[in-house]
Amino acid sequence: MPRSLLVLLLSSLPLLVAAQGCSDSASPAAVPPVADGGDGGELPPPPQTEDGGPSGVDAGDASDGGDKAASSGGSGGLACTRTGNLGGGRTYCVATRGGSELKLAVPAGGSGALRLALYLHGDGAGAYKSDGAMKALITWADAHHALVVSVLAPNACAWWQAPTQTDCTPNATPVPDAEGVNADALRAVIDAVRGAYDVSNGPVFYYGSSGGSIFLTRSFLRRFGDRYPGVFALNCGGEKADRAFAWDVASSTLRGSTKLYFTYGDQDFLKADIEEAIPYYGGVGFPTATKVIAGAAHCAFDGHGRAAEVWSTFLGE
């Protein structure tokens, strides 16, 4: 039986889910192979240019975690369509950019340029809808003078699937975002936040859960990794790029400060894809780190806590 069919069958089985680790979905949809898939982990084909011009480093590069980097100089804040409650008198702003809804909370106190912490949910968007991710990350964000931004996939369902797919149930037919359209949506969110707030040009702090991790590795990093380098907390998901990088991934300058941290359980049904992705990205030049949790099924660990731990580790704390 082809592995893709086996994964789809396994994805419909009940999965153990930790209270905070994978609240997005009890049975995440599996990712089928893309027709023009990769080359077994070897170096990708020569880089191509997308979006009408050569790749460039919009967000800059800083090896010091962003403390001494230049900043975006943005001001004015985002116009909120509504606000939400994080408890303890804290609120967040809800806005829409690039076809995606986002929730943004500013840190309490502090001064100077802000770090940017981004959360990309798994299938079903449970921790986005419940505000569970933002509530868990706000303490880290306050301590590190960071904006915490939770972003909803354009289809309000799954980051790795096309905007036209709005059904994340186990029996739904997958519609992969083969063209990487969702990467444009996240880019629009990042640009909007940087234009509205004074955001450090140092590393972006990414946190992907399940399908969010798949999207960040397979699509966003491939298309815009040079523009928005950063630290990627990739929980219970990750795939090698399915197409050529849109920028010169062989350039250490363009790779910048990016480091990929993969965390998953040894019983995760996506384990094979993750363990194929790790040497692939290491092979094209990205520093990687891996934590395997013994006995853990898909996302059956405290993913929010792990993301904060990864970010702090990156900063040398």
Reported as a single tens digit per residue, the pLDDT across 60-116 is 433 334 344 489 999 999 999 999 999 999 999 999 999 999 999 999 988 999 999
178: pLDDT strictly greater than 80: yes
Place of tokens 């804040």: 77
Looking at residue 270, its pLDDT comes to 98
Residue 178 vs residue 93, higher pLDDT: 93
Looking at residue 34, its pLDDT comes to 29
Which two tokens mark 247?
């920028």
Looking at residue 170, its pLDDT comes to 82
Looking at residue 109, its pLDDT comes to 86
Residue 192 vs residue 65, higher pLDDT: 192
309: pLDDT strictly greater than 90: yes
Looking at residue 242, its pLDDT comes to 84
pTM over 0.75: yes
Report the percent of the chain where pLDDT is more than 70.
Answer: 78
47: pLDDT strictly greater than 70: no
Looking at residue 12, its pLDDT comes to 36
Residue 234 CA to residue 151 CA, distance in Å, equals 16
Classify domain 3-31+57-314 at the CATH topology level. Answer: Rossmann fold (3.40.50)
Structural domain boundaries in the chain:
3-31+57-314
> What's the pLDDT band for 204 if we cut at 50, 70, 90?
very high
